[in-house]
Amino acid sequence: MSDTFAPAARRAVHEQAVDGLGTIRVLPLDARADAEVVHGWVSEERASFWGMNGLSRDQVADIYAHMDTLDTHHAYLVARETEPVAVLQTYEPDADRVSECYRVEPGDIGVHLLLAPAGAEGARPGWTAALAGALFTYVLLGLDRRRIVVDPDVRNEKAVTRFLNLGFTAGPAVVLPEIDLPDVYLPEKHAQLAFLTREAAFPG
């Protein structure tokens, strides 16, 4: 972990006590201070679908520094107490290539989620669902949104299954077009769309 990672000194946009886990904090990602942590995660083979395998730490930092200049895309480091446990990215679908593949509705918000590798104790039953519950509280209630859209790679069966297990409803399989701009390059992506409404996440 980077010596500069100091979650206690950073203002959280969302903080929630979760039974059995402790306090989950959603922190604005600091492109430079968090580069070592995030680079370590995205460089692993399990994170190949995140699209940053092979990049240097500085290249990863540059990507998130650029994202920090945007009003429509945001990145967060999620911490459990003082331990970083996930990267959460949110975006406005109508400002993203996904808008070319489905009809964006008022109140939609896009989400990308990368979980940290399991610790020395291994996978913890119920951990992902409990963490996701806190994140959905922030995204749907804290940001006052009606529906989350996700677009995992169709080959990433683990991620697709995880979202469905978390209550998402599968949408169509689509092809997200290539983006080739001076500041951003994204290759064509075959994705499985899935949706989670506020009502499904918080029934009753």
**92 is a domain residue:** yes
**158 is a domain residue:** yes
**122 is a domain residue:** yes
Structure confidence at residue 103 (pLDDT): 97
Give the total number of structural domains in the chain. 1
Structure confidence at residue 3 (pLDDT): 42
**1 is a domain residue:** no
**44 is a domain residue:** yes
**197 is a domain residue:** yes
Residues of the chain with pLDDT under 50: 1-4, 120, 122
Structure confidence at residue 126 (pLDDT): 82
Euclidean distance between CA atoms 77 and 104, whole angstroms: 26
3-class DSSP state for residue 54?
coil
Reported pTM:
0.92
* CATH code at position 136: 3.40.630.30
Cβ-in-10-Å burial (0-12, 13-18, 19+) of 6 comes to: exposed
Structure confidence at residue 65 (pLDDT): 95
DSSP for 97-151 reads GGGGTS---TTEEEEEEEEPPP-TT---TTHHHHHHHHHHIIIIIITT-SEEEE-
Structure confidence at residue 7 (pLDDT): 58
Structure confidence at residue 20 (pLDDT): 82
**34 is a domain residue:** yes
DSSP for 156-202 reads -HHHHHHHHHTT-EEEEEEEEPPEE-SS-EE--EEEEEEEEEHHHHS
Instruction: Residue 183: give the domain boundaries.
Output: 7-201
**2 is a domain residue:** no
Euclidean distance between CA atoms 55 and 35, whole angstroms: 11
